[in-house]
Amino acid sequence: MPELPEVEVVRAGLERHVAGRVITSVDVLHPRAIRRHVPGADDFAGRLAGVKITAARRRGKYLWLDLADGEAMLAHLGMSGQMLVQPASAPDEKHLRVRVRFADAGPELRFVDQRTFGGLALDELVDVDGTLVPASVAHVGRDPMDPLFDLAAAVAALRGKRTEVKRALLDQTLVSGIGNIYADEALWRARLHGTRPTERLTRAQGELVLTAATEVMADALGAGGTSFDALYVNVNGESGYFERSLAVYGRAGEPCRRCGALIRREAFTNRSSYFCPRCQRRPRRSPMAR
């Protein structure tokens, strides 16, 4: 799954290449790609014809286009979804699912998705704390890259949870945009083990781990955000551009960059957690054992 920095790269590309343009027609080439749009393909295409895209937005890992009619076009990238901006003369991609044409006869917007876990849908925009977001994103908390992100409020919410700190970091209603990789990296930077009970974190530890999450995502964005200047907006979840600078994620058995102890991997839900056993001491008793 693409993480926040990858989604931000796509958003910035869409802002540059499709914001301000008026849609003339939409072809839905595979019904699965719009299965989240319950009224169906004809409704989807009909409502978009003649409508202007005003902006490309993101909250956490959620991506959408603001439309001048007060709706939003949500783009779920899933495992393999790509938003491509292509000249009309370019041959159709093998897994092209939706084509959007514009009144200026310029490049098309194409949704390409090999595995069809992703898709597009229209949704109404609603006001949440002074910001317009699609109704289906209303429950998602602001991400740490959001200028209106409130660190103190997020720390208070984190410490108010009765769970483990890694689970809380991944809870998109609390703080959005932190995925498995960035959670592990932030915990390593903050020297916290992921199973630490949130209610026993100090305010300083809460600030440290959320600030670390912000920094690690900003670093990833800095590493990947400059390589997308072409007329080609792409995400495939296999970015790789940030991997060289990861401190723990994917480094089981390799030395910790801070203390030299060997990084450990352990099962976490259906994924893995990576941590340094020396820098990130496991709490004496897991809250799950109560």
Q: Which residues are catalytic?
A: 2-3, 61, 271
Would you say 48 or 256 has its CB closer to Zn ion? 256
Positive or negative, the CA dihedral 26, 29, 35, 38 is positive
- Distance between CA atoms of 48 and 263, rounded to whole angstroms? 50
Exposure class string for 76-91: b at 16+ Cβ within 10 A, else e = bbbebbbbbbbeeeee
Identity at 287, one-letter amino acid code? P
Contact of 133 with 126, CB cutoff 8 Å: yes
Residue with tokens 């041959």: 91
Contact of 33 with 119, CB cutoff 8 Å: yes
List the interface residues with Zn ion, window 219-258 (CB under 5 A).
256, 258
Contact of 152 with 142, CB cutoff 8 Å: no
**Residue 56 forms beta bridges with which residues?**
65
Cβ of residue 190: shortest distance to Zn ion, in angstroms? Answer: 12
Cβ of residue 179: shortest distance to Zn ion, in angstroms? Answer: 22
User: In the stretch 45-64, what mask flags binding to Zn ion with x, by CB under 5 A?
Assistant: --------------------
Closest CA to 212 of 233, 236, 192, 226: 192
Would you say 97 or 193 has its CB closer to Zn ion? 193
Would you say 183 or 256 has its CB closer to Zn ion? 256
Closest CA to 246 of 80, 57, 5, 1: 5
Cβ contacts of residue 260 below 8 Å, gap of 6+? none
Would you say 231 or 261 has its CB closer to Zn ion? 261
Cβ of residue 256: shortest distance to Zn ion, in angstroms? Answer: 3
Q: Which residue is nearest to Zn ion (CB)?
A: 256
- Distance between CA atoms of 28 and 35, rounded to whole angstroms? 11
Cβ of residue 279: shortest distance to Zn ion, in angstroms? Answer: 3
User: In the stretch 253-282, what mask flags binding to Zn ion with x, by CB under 5 A?
Assistant: ---x-xx-x--------------x-xx---
Cβ of residue 188: shortest distance to Zn ion, in angstroms? Answer: 8
Would you say 90 or 259 has its CB closer to Zn ion? 259
Would you say 88 or 261 has its CB closer to Zn ion? 261
- Distance between CA atoms of 218 and 216, rounded to whole angstroms? 5
- Distance between CA atoms of 249 and 271, rounded to whole angstroms? 12
Element of type H or E holding 224: helix 203-224
The residue count for binding Zn ion (CB under 5 A) is: 7
Cβ of residue 165: shortest distance to Zn ion, in angstroms? Answer: 17
190 binds Zn ion (CB under 5 A): no
Catalog residues that contact Zn ion under the rule CB under 5 A. 256, 258-259, 261, 276, 278-279
